[in-house]
Every structure is written in C-alpha cells, then in structure tokens.
Amino acid sequence: MKFGVIVFPGSNCDHDAYWTIQQVAKQPVTFLWHESHDLENCDAVIVPGGFAFGDYLRTGAIARFSPVMESVRKFAEGGGIVLGICNGFQILCESGLLPGALMRNVGLKYVCKPVQVRVENAETPFTNSCTQGQVLTIPIGHMEGNYFCDPDTLEELRRDGRVIFRYCSPSGEVDSPKAGAGGMDRKSNPNGSLDNVAGICSAGGNVLGMMPHPERSAEPELGGVDGLKIFQSMVEVMSAR
C-alpha cells in the first residue's frame, strides 16, 4: 500500500502528514505535486492543511483547479480513499467531492487549540479503529472552519451517517444551539460550525474532510495520540483490500 500527500504552493502541513505516515504509521508515502496528473499508483491520497495558493479569493478556490485535483476526483469516483485535513477539507468542498462550504469562524478570529470531537460513525475507512461515541482530542488551527450547508443537505448527511465527527465537550456532550454567540452556544463548538460538524464523508464513504489535524496528535511528544487512529484506520482498510 502507498500514500500520497499533495503539495500545493502554500501547503504547510504536507511534511507533517508525510512524517506521520512514514515514521509513525510506518507506511510508504510520496509527495504529489499540484501540477501533475500522476497519482503514482497511490492507494490513498492526503489533501493536507495549509494555505494553498495563499487562500486568495477564498479557501480552496484556486487549488480546486490544480491538475492533480482532476486526478483526485477520478480516483475518488473509482472508490479511492481520500482524506482532506483543514485546508484539504476546504479544497474538497470547493472541488465538489464533499457538499457544503467552510466559512469564516464565528467571531472572525483564527482559532488554534486542542479540541474534543465525538466519533459519530465508526464504520468508515477513517474511523474503524475507533468506537462509536468515542471522544478524541485533536488540535485545530483555522480561520475558516465554520461548516455550512443547506437544510436538505444537512438532513441527508445526518440520515446517511455521513457526519463523522462533531465538536463536543470532554465528556462527549454536543451543545444544542442557543441564543447568543451568533446563534450558537460555543462551549464545545470553536467556530460556529452548523450542527457542530467537524468532519463529513462522501456518499460512498471513501472521501473524508475534517477540520482537526490528526497528524498533530499522532505521537506522545505532541501531547496525544488520538489522531493516529485516523491513519491506523486507513491502513487497516487498505491492507484488507
């Protein structure tokens, strides 16, 4: 099995993802240049965090036109495993691989801190090493992490089990919307995200976008290893194929 990590101008978490896959998960990995159509026979593709093309226009709006994303779309349509982290989540939404959009955080401030997310679906290629309802502590670092979609799309995501992670309290409680703070009680919601969404998957379950950075919580030296479960899940699924 082989992982590929895309490199865009402005990516700054590509090497972090590469390190985690190679040095922690102990799997073969290669960088994929944004101007290339060649996915180099990778079995899984990581669209990493950062500021692709400087986030000009809006996050992911330019990166979606990169030649490599055309190949990623075809790869995903064929059942290939794709993980978009933070800016990668934004790029996947802009590319049409995931529904909805990531808007400016409520409060219009960059947020960088560890948060808790609850695993809402443990039967995906990204969460099979987790348990249903498990609370993971994974860092975030974003300005545009406020997930939004129309009511019909949200209902579809809920119905089909495609909301994979929700922001929650350390005990696993998801705050209900309340008055104030932009219409949201933000005790466990760091950005105002609709329905506390922290990560969603495609209809086929093979494409995941998540705002938290699992590569930043994959080693004890980083303060926790909950993020490693995401990569371990991917390895397990790829090994079984």
By annotation, the residues acting in catalysis are: 86, 213, 215
The pair of structure tokens assigned to 182 is 């932009």
E runs forming strands in 153-230: 163-168, 197-201, 207-210
Query: Which parts of 43-175 fold into alpha helices (H)?
Result: 67-77, 87-94, 151-159
Burial class from Cβ neighbours inside 10 Å (0-12, 13-18, 19+) for residue 238 reads: middle
Report whether 24 contacts 228 (CB < 8 A): yes
219 - beta bridge partners?
Answer: 224
- Give yes or no for a contact between 167 and 193, defined as CB atoms under 8 angstroms apart: yes
